[in-house]
Amino acid sequence: MNKYELAVVVSAKIEDEERAAIVDKCKALVERFGGTITEVDDWGKKRLAYEVQKMKEAFYYFIRFDAESTVPAEIESRIRIMDNVIRYLIVKQDEA
């Protein structure tokens, strides 16, 4: 099992319930492919470094999980097509 971190940037133009549903979908994807969520970090609304889809602000979420090496590709292929997810990134965390 490897340790990963999924960063999800969600549109600020949607309601709180929709935003929570998107985060829940991301967590469900991790669990669906055999990952174990260790921590969910909500950074809240932050200013983007540059304008994306005519938005200057978005909500940031970080989901840390343990999973096999094939899981991140499966998750990325599903998140890529999710509405209101502006950006996403899965990185492998160092063991040290």
- Where along the chain do its domains lie? 2-92
Q: pLDDT digit string (tens) for 61-81?
A: 999 999 999 999 999 999 999
Q: Is pLDDT of 96 > 80?
A: no
Q: pLDDT digit string (tens) for 2-12?
A: 999 999 999 99
Q: How many CA atoms lie within 13 A of 29 on its CB side?
A: 23
Would you state the pLDDT for residue 1? 87
Cα(51)–Cα(71) distance, rounded to whole angstroms? 30
Q: pLDDT digit string (tens) for 32-59?
A: 999 999 999 999 999 999 999 899 999 9
Query: Which of 3.30.43.10, 3.10.530.10, 3.30.70.600, 3.30.70.60 is the CATH number of 2-92?
Result: 3.30.70.60
Q: Which whole number is the average pLDDT over 72-91?
A: 93
